[in-house]
Chains A and B, each alone.
Chain A
Amino acid sequence: MIARLPGNTAPAVVFALFLLLGPTPSVASIETDLSLEPAPDGIDAGELARKAENNMRSERTYIAAKMTVESPRLSRARVVAFHSWENSPEKKSLIRIDAPAKDKGTGFLKLHPNLWMYVPRVERTVRVPPSMMLQSWMGSDFSNDDLVRESSEIEDYEHRLLGFDPGTNGNVDRPAYVVEYKPNEDAAVVWGSIVGWLDVETGAPLRQDFFDEDGERMRVMRFSDFKTIGKRHVPHLWSMTPLDKPGHSTSIEVTEIRYDADFDSDIFTTRNLKRRD
């Protein structure tokens, strides 16, 4: 026989259970995790998403960055320095690794939908096959697919406003609108949905949670260290935590970013990929 609990102890019991079990890594639905305030009327989720995307991207973008990979395997974080050129309308990009020494000169060339890789030490150019797309990129928590995936956060998704996050409950540190990105059926997207926190003031993304098709949260990406570049508010630190790999995280620290940069389209060739610069 189980003694009947007085009515008012029930919340306490639930709370105790919660403490015992800890936060569960999986959530049944996106909303249950969020205690959001309703957003003011007249806010359009699609418009918020467009603003955020335009804030982050341009037609021709140059980035120099340092990627730091942390893992329980490593006593010292792995740091990969690279710079990249992207021509977004042509869906082309080039990434050149500068460090560590072993990978210096390694190049990645995306000519949608293909990904090419050049390994200077063995002088081989390799097309990364589809079966390798979900493998780790340069030992990070990003996959090759993350590099190649060419989806527009505007065209490939339906947007729905979930609410307003005052930025005081630990999700993000600034007031933000929370928008759910649901991929269109024909979009080549591996995620079931993405929930984005978009800064109320600047429109820049503060955080993105990626869910798989079963609604399980797979990664959390946080944007911070904002700097103003022209009219843009650009995060210079992107930190990604894969929730299925405890103790792992990858962050990208942008050292230089140039929007509407001036470079030729002919740098996106396999011939140029082999140049070591």
Chain B
Amino acid sequence: MNIETRLAWRNVWRNPRRTALSVAATVFALVLVIFSISMADGSHEKMIEDAVRLSSGHVAVSGKGYRHSMTLEQFVPWDGRVEAAIEKADSVRAWAPRISSFALVSLGDRSHGSMVIGVDPEREAGVTKFVSRVNEGRFVDQNPGPGVREVVLGRKLAERLGAAIGDEILLYGVAYSLETAYELFEVVGTMALPDPRLERNLTIVHLDVASEFYVYEDRITEVAILADSAGNAAALRTELESVFAGPLGDELELQDYEEMMPGLVQLILIDDAGMYIMLAILVVVVGFGILNTILMAILERTRELGVILALGLKPIALFRMVYLESMMLAGVGLAIGLLIALPPLAWLNGMEFPLGGDLAQATEIFGMEPVLTFKLIPSNPIFSTLTIVVVALLAALYPALKASRAHPVDALRSL
């Protein structure tokens, strides 16, 4: 250890109480920043996960123009080619074929327009949460017998229709063949969904039943695909793009969740912006804390610094010493902060804590499950630590300059 380092280390602990307070502030700030970011990362990942598992997965494959028109007109040819192509992609966790269209749903003198989605129950369970969201009755049967037409309704839609399990409801729409499509369906279950719009507008039937109802033959409207991990949605899309290159791909379009749900992306951006502004304020306050500590340390040592300068220490060495003090102060704080923040976060990582009361309601408005989750991404502690290091470097600039520019004679005379 050279003389500057030793001097600096001693100087840091010359006033242990002041240093401890300053270190405590740094620790507090770092822990708060890391926790806030991991909470935001956790909730954003959860938001995306919840949203994609209540809609069309991370990436949806549909007929060209489908997202614009949302009608049966644009379709995915379901003759095994698309299926085989998807199976070739590595980052696919699960996929589910769907036939979606709009139809009138009616019981007694009540009627509503609803999205009617035909699903393969087993495949759908791997992609979305519709199957596990059944709060009453059951989901549609995996193997509907001939002439069996079962339907699961969103809870609010069932309420509005006054439909109970066992009731026969009428579905009326227009088939792909442009014939009228209408049949009576037996209500076998209702789904409680976190998104009220979905609860009012969702009707689920079996894929084969929908295919027959809409006279859709060997077509489907979309394939919902889930990436093997949330962060892999973009990679999945790129992979699918290469898998679908060629004549088949020309008939199809790929959309990722960011394109399908621009509102969600914006919500996350706004949420992030608010958080980072708060954190920036906190870090700036900590920066002033460090500035204060170092400046005080310099001012009360003016005489001493004068002596050192008079003995021939170069101003640049003094500058370095003050900087080292500041770095040590921040370093101790950051080390302790990381020790405090990381182990519990590593343990909390991915765990979900249910929220209650108003907070729960507020999150449900956004279609999220009311839970609190933490997600520790390596970039979070790295980014947080570096930010505080930079702030400490900036904070030390003024005291270090002041110390190194002191004139030995003036300094000796002071105090």
Give residues in A with beta carbon < 8 Å to B: 69, 71, 73-74, 78, 100, 102-103, 106, 117, 119, 121-122, 124-132, 135-136, 138-140, 245
Q: Can you give 7 contacting A-B residue pairs, CB < 8 Å? A: A74-B178, A106-B180, A122-B170, A128-B111, A129-B113, A139-B179, A140-B178
Cross-chain contact B73 with A245 (CB below 8 angstroms): yes
Q: Is B113 touching A122 in the complex (CB atoms < 8 A)?
A: no
Specify which chain A residues have a CB less than 8 angstroms from the CB of B174 in the assembled complex: 135-136, 138-139
Is B113 a contact partner of A73 (Cβ separation < 8 A)? no
Complex Cα distance A245/B178, Å? Answer: 14
- Asked whether B333 is an interface residue with its Cβ less than 8 Å from the other chain, the reply is no
State whether B106 touches A126 (Cβ < 8 A).
yes
Residue of B170, B178, B183, B184 near A139 (CB, 8 A) is: B178
Per the bound structure, the CA–CA distance linking A170 and B73 in Å amounts to 31
Given contacts A73-B73, A129-B112, A129-B113, contact A119 B172 (CB under 8 A): yes
The answer to whether B109 and A78 have CB atoms under 8 Å apart is no
Whole-angstrom distance between the Cβ of B114 and the nearest chain A Cβ: 8
Chain A neighbourhood of B106, CB < 8 A: 124, 126
B142 at the interface (CB under 8 A from A): no
Residue of B nearest to A139 (CB): B178
Are B184 and A129 in contact, CB atoms less than 8 angstroms apart?
no
Across-interface contacts of B175 in A (CB, < 8 A): 139
Q: Is the CB of A135 within 8 A of B73?
A: no
Q: B109 CB to closest chain A CB, in angstroms?
A: 7
| Chain B at the A interface: SS class | strand
Counted as pairs of residues, one from A and one from B, with CB atoms less than 8 Å apart, the total is 66
Which residues of B lie under 8 Å from residue A139 when comparing CB positions? 174-175, 177-180
- Cβ of B366 under 8 Å from chain A: no
Please give the distance in Å from A195's CB to the nearest CB on chain B: 26
User: From B107, which residue of chain A is reached at the shortest CB distance?
Assistant: A124
- B287 at the A/B interface (Cβ < 8 Å)? no
Contact A126:B178 (CB < 8 A) given known A73-B73, A132-B104, A245-B73? no
Question: What residues of A have a CB within 8 angstroms of the CB of B109 in the complex?
Answer: 125, 127
User: Is B178 within 8 A of A71, CB to CB?
Assistant: yes
**Interfacial chain A residues near B172, Cβ < 8 Å:** 117, 119, 126
* Cα distance, A79 to B170, chains bound together (Å): 24
Q: Is B102 part of the binding interface, using a Cβ–Cβ cutoff of 8 Å?
A: yes
Q: Which 6 pairs show the lowest CB-CB distances between chains A and B?
A: A131-B113, A139-B178, A132-B113, A126-B106, A139-B174, A136-B174
B143 to chain A, nearest CB (A): 25
Q: Are B113 and A124 in contact (CB under 8 A)?
A: no
Contact B177 A119 (CB under 8 A): no
Q: CB of B176 within 8 A of chain A?
A: yes
Q: Evaluate whether A129 and B179 lie within 8 angstroms (CB atoms) in the complex, with A119-B170, A135-B102 already known.
A: no
Q: Is the CB–CB distance between B182 and A129 below 8 Å?
A: no
Residue of chain A at shortest CB distance from B101: A135
- Measured CB to CB, the nearest residue on chain A to B75 is A73
Instruction: Give the distance in Å from the alpha carbon of A99 to the alpha carbon of B395 in the complex.
Output: 85
Contact in complex: A127, B173 (CB < 8 Å): no
Assembled-state Cα–Cα distance A122/B79 (Å): 33
- Residues of B that sit less than 8 Å from A by CB: 73, 102, 104, 106, 109, 111-113, 170, 172-180, 182-184
Let me know if A128 and B104 touch, CB within 8 A. yes
CB of A73 within 8 A of CB of B104, answer no
Give the distance in Å from the alpha carbon of A69 to the alpha carbon of B170 in the complex.
Answer: 25
Q: Are B179 and A73 in contact (CB under 8 A)?
A: no
A106 to chain B, nearest CB (A): 7
Known: A124-B170, A126-B172. A119 touches B182 (CB 8 A): yes
Q: Cβ of B180 and Cβ of A102 under 8 Å apart?
A: yes
B102: nearest chain-A partner, CB-CB: A135
A201 to B182, CA, bound (A): 47
Nearest-CB distance from B261 to chain A (Å)? Answer: 21
Query: Which residues of the other chain, A, contact B113 by a CB distance below 8 angstroms?
Result: 129-132, 135
> Considering the chains assembled together, what is the distance between the CA atoms of A29 and B111 in angstroms?
40
Q: How far is the CA of A125 from the CA of B176 in the complex (A)?
A: 24
Pick the contact of B179 from A100, A122, A132 — CB < 8 Å? A100
- In this complex, what residue of A is CB-closest to B72? A73
Select from chain B the residue with minimum beta-carbon distance to A246. Answer: B73
Distance in Å from the Cβ of A169 to the closest Cβ of chain B?
33
Residues of B within 8 A of A125 (CB): 109
A78: which of B102, B104, B179, B184 is its contact (CB, 8 Å)? B179
Shortest CB distance A30–B (Å): 25
Distance between Cα atoms of A73 and B214 in the complex (Å): 13
Given contacts A73-B178, A139-B174, 16 further A-B contacts (CB under 8 A): A73-B73, A73-B177, A78-B177, A78-B179, A117-B172, A119-B170, A119-B182, A126-B104, A126-B106, A127-B109, A129-B111, A130-B113, A131-B113, A132-B102, A132-B104, A245-B73
> What residue in chain B is nearest A125 (Cβ atoms)?
B109
- Tell me the complex Cα distance, A69–B106, Å: 26
A78 x B180 contact (CB < 8 A): no
Residue of B nearest to A117 (CB): B172
B178 touches A135 (CB 8 A): no
In the bound assembly, the distance between CA atoms of A119 and B171 in angstroms comes to 11
Q: Which of A69, A122, A140 has the most CB of B within 10 A?
A: A122
Question: Which residues from B are CB-within-8-Å of A135?
Answer: 102, 104, 113, 173-174
The docked-state distance in angstroms from the alpha carbon of A69 to that of B102 is 20
In the complex, what residues of B have CB within 8 A of residue A138's CB? 174, 180
B179 contact set on A, CB distance < 8 A? 78, 100, 102-103, 139
Measured CA separation A210–B276 after assembly (Å): 50
Contacts of A129 in B (CB 8 A): 104, 111-113
List residues of chain B with CB within 8 A of the CB of A121: 182
B102 to chain A: which residues have CB within 8 Å? 132, 135
Contact (Cβ within 8 A) A126 B73: no
Are the CB atoms of B184 and A69 closer together than 8 Å? Answer: no
Q: Which residues of B contact A127 (CB under 8 A)?
A: 109, 111
B156 to chain A: closest CB distance in Å? Answer: 14
Name the B residues within 8 Å of A245 (CB-CB). 73
Q: How far is the CB of B58 from chain A (nearest CB, A)?
A: 29
Min CB–CB distance A219 → chain B (angstroms): 16
Instruction: Return chain B residues, CB-CB under 8 Å to A106.
Output: 180
Report the minimal beta-carbon distance from A228 to chain B, rounded to whole angstroms. Answer: 34
| Complex contacts, A100 vs chain B, CB 8 Å | 179
